[in-house]
């Protein structure tokens, strides 16, 4: 009963609400960006996800800073060893 598919928004009290969840448009192609801007005004958005576990915040996606905060490891090899240790502990193959 509406156009827009999964990107459909409805106005609720003057606020655009994403009926099916928020969507983020991204492209590194200048031609595409220049073309698409003629149809809508875009807000700047920087995705900076974090996870909260036991009252600590961790960067997502996981990276060396995340692994250092979790386990105190410094190198990718140490992180890989710790991940393998955790997998073995939980019987994850």
Q: Classify residue 70 by burial, with Cβ atoms within 10 Å: 0-12, 13-18, 19+.
A: middle
Range of the domain at 66: 50-89
Statement: residue 88 has pLDDT above 90: yes
Same domain as 29, residue 3: yes
pLDDT score at 44: 84
Mean pLDDT in residue range 30-41: 93
Looking at the structure, do residues 78 and 58 belong to the same domain, yes or no?
yes
Same structural domain, 3 and 33: yes
Mean pLDDT over 35-51 rounds to 88
Per the structure, how many domains does the chain have? Answer: 2
For the residues 12-26, what does the mean pLDDT come to? 86
38 and 64 housed in the same domain? no
* Confidence at 53, pLDDT banded by 50, 70, 90: confident
Whether residue 67 sits in one domain with residue 26: no
């Amino acid at each position: 009963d509406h156009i827009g598919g999964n990107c459909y928004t409805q106005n609720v009290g003057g606020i655009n609400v994403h009926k099916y969840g928020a969507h983020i448009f991204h492209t590194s192609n200048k031609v595409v960006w220049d073309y698409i801007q003629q149809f809508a005004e875009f807000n700047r958005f920087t995705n900076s996800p974090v996870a909260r576990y036991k009252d600590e915040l961790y960067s997502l996606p996981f990276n060396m800073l995340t692994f250092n905060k979790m386990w105190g490891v410094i190198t990718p090899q140490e992180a890989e060893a710790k991940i393998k240790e955790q997998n073995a502990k939980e019987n994850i193959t």
